[in-house]
Chain A
Amino acid sequence: MHKISFPLMGDYNVPIEFLLKHAFKEEIIMPPPITSKTIELGTKYSPEFVCTPFKYTLGTMLEAIEKGADTLIQMGGGCRYGYYGEVQDQILKDLGYNVTLINLVTKGKVDIRRIVKELKETGIKYSKLKAIYYGFIAIKMVKYMDIIDDYIRENIGFEVKDGSFETLKFKMLNDFRQVKSYLELKKLYRYYLKEIQNVPIRKPDKCLKIGIIGELYTVMEPFSNYFLEKELSQNQIEIKRFTNVHYLLFEKKHKIKKYLKYSKKYIKYQMGADAADNIARTKYLCEAGYDGIIHIKSSFCTPEIGAMPIINKIASEYETPVLFFSFDANTSETGIKTRLEAFYDMLEMRKEK
């Protein structure tokens, strides 16, 4: 029996675990939640100036191995993220672990034939039919989660009773884990959407609205961005975020053309990963009257580094303030809080005038 595990990102471990559990006839090991130990471990064995998601994913892999995993799945692409897998594999081997690492995205594409071949070589048992069926459900699950998260983000800062949204979402994810069919999932989704929309909120007309843009992993994994969204919501701020897994998997492909057209005054080309997307989003946030923009990325994220001067230029043309954060494994949390506080103060002052 193989013991399969995978790196974590946000709440997406729910649909991934769901899919793997059904598609593979193997044991699935859930890595422990990301903590300071994860990033410490990851940093210890990572190359010096690699971007931070490498360190987080390596950290979770090591923790999964500690829990007994012998097969790891890595996915991702777009910049150097797509090359993480091979290097991490070598690092794990050099550390003396006898594990197999399966890379779902290679050379910028999902090579099904190669994945099938690797699964065969490893001797992992799976059902093709179930992979397709539960894959479909998992994808829908991602979509529903993303829709609900978008709603929560806009409103969580204004809930009348603290924790209402979080409690509901926690229950929803637990129920999602147990579903047996697409219909059941759909029913649950409708139920929770209604519940969540019925959570009492008290939202002033002139609340602060902030858009969050940046590098995908840092945006989607709350631990890596020092729980930025939670911090913002505690200050009665409406949050808009664009990047989620559904966007990356299904919307990006056709939206990127629109994005390029929309921002053609500034850019002509894509610049790797989500750089062009974030440039277009900057323009959108400025035009849609958002009070401020927060751009987050991990240190050394090259596509976003390239986008930053252009984001800065657009925002200053529209006079919308942007706060840039570059997170590393040893970023000081108090430093972040001070900068954020000053950011709200500034936005409030601008609004009052």
Chain B
Amino acid sequence: MTKVGIARGIFYYYYGDIWKNFFDYLKVPYIISPNTNKEIMENGMKYANDEMCLAFKTYLGHVSYLIDKCDYLIIPRIDNYKLDNQTCTNFLSAYDIVKNTFDIKILNYNIALDKHQNLKQGLINIGKQLGFSKEQSKKAYKYAVGLYKKDRARDITINMGKLNSNKTKILLLAHPYNTYDDLIGRDIIKYLNANNIEVIFSDKFDDKITNKLSEKITKDLYFKYSKDNIGALIYAKDKIDGVIFLSAFPCGPDSLTNELVMRKIDIPHINLVLDSNSSFTGIETRLESFIDMLKGGF
């Protein structure tokens, strides 16, 4: 039976669970690349252009890991959720870049809500390529999204519940593909937890609320994921003690949005920009002094 490969990077952190549910329902076997490790990152750097952002380099490393382990890779293209909610160019170009760099068949769909291309059609299309009827795929889609929404609601409740914690609270403002990547955000979260900090994640809020809320800081922004993050900050700002901006060098949207937000807020914050070889010692020093400051421990 054909096996689908899911690269643990970029899209995975938004759609991975839905894909897993979808393939589970259709009993399509799939393989997910492991947590990012040094080998994956180094492989990514081999294929990536030098100036690509760290997260995308890593993504290409995950793709290369899967090349000889599956029949298809699933790589969507996410263009927009309407014109005022667009994505960065990596979400637009990943499919074509992979297609030109590797020799592998790709399951692809496009999300462009301004042109009425949505996830449902996308998954039905993929089902078709794998030999399933429209009906079967529709059912699988319904199952996948239903389950995802339930899980997501639970995650959001837990995350937002932390806003009432008695501990020192820090909002980690970052794209999930950075936050949860083993070589990007994991050590930071681990360090914060070990220091008795309540870490709140900017990606685990209800985007129906946060997306709109972002307009309080920026009226012209059209990057969906950045807007959601900024909205989360506005939602949480009176309940948190500090913010950590974490981004992957040289992220296009973050270079502007984080700059703007940092100029506009008056909450204690630090800006961490990670490159492929940033040593954790340097980051640790900055985290430590930041926490000291928040706890008034000087």
With A and B bound together, what is the CA distance between A271 and B97 in angstroms? 10
Can you report 21 residue pairs joining A to B where beta carbons are below 8 Å apart? A49-B255, A51-B252, A79-B252, A83-B223, A91-B263, A94-B263, A108-B86, A108-B222, A268-B95, A268-B96, A269-B96, A271-B89, A271-B92, A271-B96, A300-B250, A300-B252, A302-B90, A302-B252, A305-B51, A307-B93, A309-B101
C-alpha gap A15/B95 in the complex (Å): 40
Within 8 A of A (CB), among B18-58: 49, 51-53
Contact A108 B96 (CB under 8 A): no
B267 within 8 A of A: no
Q: Which residue of B lies closest to A308 (CB)?
A: B49
| A residues less than 8 Å from B252 (CB atoms) | 51, 79-80, 300, 302
Contact B256–A84 (Cβ < 8 Å): yes
Contacting residues of chain A (276-316) with chain B, CB-CB under 8 angstroms:
299-300, 302-303, 305-310, 313
> Given the known A-B contacts A269-B92, A269-B110, A299-B51, are A86 and B86 also in contact in the complex, defined by CB atoms under 8 Å?
no
9 other A-B residue contacts (CB within 8 Å) besides A49-B250, A267-B96: A50-B255, A83-B222, A86-B221, A87-B260, A108-B86, A303-B93, A306-B89, A306-B90, A310-B96
Chain B interface residue bracket vs A? 35 or more
Tell me the minimal C-beta distance from A61 to chain B in angstroms: 16
Minimum CB–CB distance from B259 to chain A (whole Å) comes to: 4
Interchain CB contact under 8 A, A305 and B220: no
Residues of B within 8 A of A272 (CB): 89, 92-93
Whether B220 and A269, one on each chain, are in contact in the complex, defined by CB atoms closer than 8 angstroms, is: no
What are the interface flags for B92-121 relative to A under an 8 Å C-beta threshold, 1 for contact and 0 otherwise? 110111011100000010100000000000
Residue of B nearest to A108 (CB): B83
Tell yes or no: A326 within 8 A of B by CB.
yes
Q: Give residues 140-193 of B contacting A (CB, 8 Å).
A: none
Q: Are B259 and A87 in contact (CB under 8 A)?
A: yes
A13 close to chain B: CB less than 8 A: no
A106 within 8 A of B: yes
Residues A313 and B49 in contact, CB atoms below 8 Å apart? no
B218 at the interface (CB under 8 A from A): yes
Tell me, yes or no, whether A82 is within 8 Å of chain B by CB. Answer: yes
CA distance A108 to B92 in the complex (A): 15
Could you say which residues of chain A place their CB within 8 Å of the CB of B122?
none
Q: B100, A309: Cβ atoms under 8 Å?
A: yes
Chain A positions near chain B (C-beta within 8 angstroms): 47-51, 54, 79-80, 82-87, 90-91, 94, 103, 106-109, 266-273, 275, 299-300, 302-303, 305-310, 313, 326
Shortest CB distance A244–B (Å):
22
Q: In the complex, what residue of chain B is closest to A82 when comparing beta carbons?
A: B222
Whether a CB of chain A sits under 8 angstroms from the CB of B253 is yes
In the assembly, what is the distance between CA of A272 and CA of B92, in Å?
7
Complex: how many Å from CA A313 to CA B102? Answer: 12
Asked if A309 and B86 sit within 8 Å, CB to CB, the answer is no
Residues of B within 8 A of A273 (CB): 89
Residues in A neighbouring B83, C-beta threshold 8 A: 107-109
Chain A CB within 8 A of B88 CB? yes
In whole angstroms, how far apart are the Cα atoms of A84 and B255 in the complex? 11
Q: Considering residues B53, B97, B219, B264, which has the most beta carbons from chain A within 10 angstroms of its beta carbon?
A: B97
Counting CB contacts under 8 A, is B284 at the interface?
no
- Bound together, the chains give a CA A352 to CA B290 distance in angstroms of 64
Contact yes or no, A269 B95, CB < 8 A: yes
Contact between B89 and A85, CB atoms less than 8 A apart: no
Determine if A79 and B89 form an interchain contact, defined as CB atoms under 8 angstroms apart: yes
Bound-state CA distance A107–B220 (Å) is 6
A303-B259 contact in complex given A80-B252, A308-B49, A310-B97, C-beta closer than 8 Å: no
Question: In the docked arrangement, what's the CA distance between A91 and B263, Å?
Answer: 8
Complex formed: what's the CA distance from A47 to B249 in Å? 13
A306 touches B220 (CB 8 A): no
Segment 216-240 of B: residues with Cβ below 8 Å from A: 218-223
Note all chain B residues with C-beta closer than 8 A to A87.
256, 259-260
Of A79, A266, A302, the most chain B CB neighbours within 10 A belong to A302
B68 at interface, CB cutoff 8 A? no
Contacts of B249 in A (CB 8 A): 49
The residue that B255 contacts in the complex, of A267, A300, A307, with Cβ under 8 A, is A300
Give the contacting residue for A306; candidates B97, B223, B251, B255; CB below 8 A: B97
Considering the chains assembled together, what is the distance between the CA atoms of A92 and B90 in angstroms?
30
Q: How far is A22 from B252 in the complex, measured between Cα atoms in Å?
A: 37
| Interchain nearest-CB distance for B53 vs A (Å) | 8
Q: How far is the CA of A87 from the CA of B217 in the complex (A)?
A: 11
State whether the Cβ of B84 lies closer than 8 Å to any Cβ in chain A.
yes
Which of A303, A306, A313 is most buried by chain B, counting CB atoms within 10 A of its CB?
A306
